[in-house]
Structure 1
Amino acid sequence: MAVFTAVTDTQLAHWLHDYDLGDVVDFRGIQSGIENSNFFLTTTRGEYVLTIFEKLTAQQLPFYLDLMRHLASHRVPVPDPMPRKDGALFGLLHGKPAAIVTKLDGAPELAPGVEHCTEVGQMLARLHLAGRDFSGDQPNLRSLPWWEETVPTVAPFLDGAQRELLESELAHQQQFFASDDYAALPGGACHCDLFRDNALFAHASPETGHTVRLGGFFDFYFAGCDKWVFDVAVTVNDWCVDLATGELDIARAEALLRAYQTVRPFTPEENRHWADMLRAGAYRFWVSRLYDFYLPRSAELLKPHDPGHFERILRARRAGVPDALHAHAHRSCN
């Protein structure tokens, strides 16, 4: 994936006049991502990532940057946006909003084990608690209202069985979202997209006794205010599944849930509707992948993700959550 908006050394030097980050040592494009132009930036003051936002507007961006700044100030390892000399967290580069954030340590772990899921579960709970006093208030933009808007546009592309699954699950989630139990679920700022490629791991120091060390979470540009258990369900549906079948890996799922709930135990309502939220998390990404596959927004989405992956996950969650996972969640909230 190429950088969509190129930046010359001269343009970079001129733009950095508005920052107090020292002199440029190295600057190079990051050949990944499907939404934005990203660059590694090393200066005499440290290592950073410069992002030019190809879709997000200057009006949309503050929520995400303010959230990251808030979490970083609460010692949650996330990219910390660097303020300009005027205090703003972003500026315009080539007429597009752009920001500089600190570079996290480590690399993604695309084949996570129990130890990785333990680190992720604990840090996700810390993130949720750290966001309780965050003043931003933007809903998850890929939640029920977006599903209701999008499902009619993708349904015509599906066969009969797929369409029945799409529409019946939407009806189930509409009923769930309208319930008193759903209203009682605790929530706040959520990552909403915490897949295994949105976390970094570094080598742990031998004296810590841990085999892995979480470098941090990144890519907060789908974040929003939602139910915390939804965020946990999205995370489990990626970190704790067999990629070929979509079935839950019980050992990884139990490790993530146990670690999360040592920091923030589930409420009775969260435990009661854990299976519903696993279905909601799978549905959100099945719908978005169907949309990207059949109605690609523009040429930069060169290779849309396979919608079939989350169709399999949704079917597996509708078939039932393993008893062991239910039992663990029940013990953890009492």
Structure 2
Amino acid sequence: MSVYTEVGRDQLIAFLADYAVGELVHYQGISDGIENTNYFVTTDKGEFVLTLFEHHDFGELAYFLDVMTFFFEHGIPSAHPAADRQGRYLKKLCGRPAALVMRLDGRGVANVASLAQCEAIGDILGQMHIAGQQFQSRRHSQRGPEWRQETAQRLLPMMEADQAALLKNELAFQKGYADLDLPWGVTHSDLFRDNALFDGEELRGIIDFYYACDEYLLYDLAVAVNDWCVDESGTLALRHYQALMSGYLQHRQLTDAEQANWNLVLRAAALRFWLSRLQDKLFPREGEITQIKNPDAFLKILQQHRHQPFSVDELQ
């Protein structure tokens, strides 16, 4: 969530006229995140998040909005898109597909999560994986093993020798990722601390479903563990991990194959975000407000999983 496309006040007023959301009072760009242009929008009838999509077309975006609506309708506290007067969730603004989404209460977790917050994330992710079994639409992951391989080849010539050697070794280790026999379905695939809104210890909502796709459910869990359950050195925080897993396992037990491949999937999730952050650092995009996150954070997490390959049983 950054600002790459500037929206003028008159442009926004004209855009909002197609919605029954009241008159514009105030709006401001959001600096968190890195992919799309986002604004907080306040009207005299409520608060919203306006997203202009920088990389997706209208056909792709229908899937993401369907995912958000599905989870909202299945009791998951998640942002719900607002429909215009013709019942459409998507419109065009400043030459970009755009959606207006209800703004949820609460704030993302800026620093280390509490044990209660970790348990709440595990609990809601377990609920999402059970409910998601009924979701019918399909979308291939855009940041899966093919993307990781292609992105690595683009970055390798620009990397220092030791990191390049590590990357090549890791790609070889993960070569069989796509052929694992693991439960799969619709996943959030980006459930970081800034995509979960809390009021104290109470989870108020899940946001930013724009990486949602069909993936291994274990991958979705690994993405969460890699962000919610590590300290600044990239070391797994055991009590936080246990809290998150306790919440998750109330709803879904891991299969034998998932337990056997836990380290591999943790490493795949860490590699995905190391590569994407490294790509953003080496090939930055211009924007009015942009945020480039430190790729070294996920390099440390990947190294921790490589050097200390815990199994699920050892961590519980």
TM-score normalised according to structure 1 size = 0.87
Do the aligned partners of 2:40 and 2:48 also contact (CA within 8 Å) in 1? yes
Residue in 1 aligned with 2:23? 24
Q: How far apart are residue 17 of structure 1 and its match?
A: 3.0
287-296 or 146-155, which moves further after superposition? 287-296
Residue in 1 aligned with 2:71? 71
**Structure 2 residues without counterparts, runs of 5 or longer:** none
Amino acid at match of 2:173: H
Q: Distance in 1 between matches of 2:62 and 2:125?
A: 22
Q: Which has the higher contact order (CA 8 A, sep 6+)?
A: 2
Residue in 1 aligned with 2:122? 121
Instruction: Compute the RMSD of aligned alpha carbons.
Output: 2.0
Residue in 2 aligned with 1:281? 269
Do the aligned partners of 2:2 and 2:290 also contact (CA within 8 Å) in 1? no
Per-residue displacement from partner, 1:109-134 (whole Å, max 9, x unpaired)? 22211111001110111112222122
Q: Distance in 2 between matches of 1:45 and 1:135?
A: 34
Aligned pairs (5 A) from 1:1-334: 3-21=3-21, 23-24=22-23, 26-33=25-32, 34-110=34-110, 111-178=112-179, 182-183=180-181, 185-203=182-200, 212-243=201-232, 245-296=233-284, 298-300=285-287, 302-322=290-310, 325-327=312-314
Q: Distance in 2 between matches of 1:29 and 1:196?
A: 22
Fraction of identical pairs, as percent = 37
Do the aligned partners of 1:140 and 1:192 also contact (CA within 8 Å) in 2? no
Per-residue displacement from partner, 1:197-241 (whole Å, max 9, x unpaired)? 1111014xxxxxxxx100111111122110010010011001100
Q: How far apart are residue 61 of structure 1 and its match?
A: 1.3
Amino acid at match of 1:242: D
Per-residue displacement from partner, 1:162-212 (whole Å, max 9, x unpaired)? 12211111111112433xxx12x1111111111111111014xxxxxxxx1
Cα–Cα, structure 1 residues 9 and 162, in superposed 2: closer, same or farther, change >3 Å? closer
Q: How far apart are residue 43 of structure 1 and its match?
A: 3.5
TM-score normalised according to structure 2 size = 0.92
Moved over 6 A (4+): none
**Structure 1 residues without counterparts, runs of 5 or longer:** 204-211, 330-334
Cα–Cα, structure 1 residues 237 and 44, in superposed 2: closer, same or farther, change >3 Å? same
- How many residue pairs get aligned? The number is 313
Amino acid at match of 2:231: D
Q: Distance in 1 between matches of 2:279 and 2:3?
A: 23
Q: Distance in 1 between matches of 2:244 and 2:168?
A: 31
Amino acid at match of 1:286: W
Q: How far apart are residue 242 of structure 1 and its match?
A: 0.8
Q: Distance in 2 between matches of 1:218 and 1:302?
A: 19
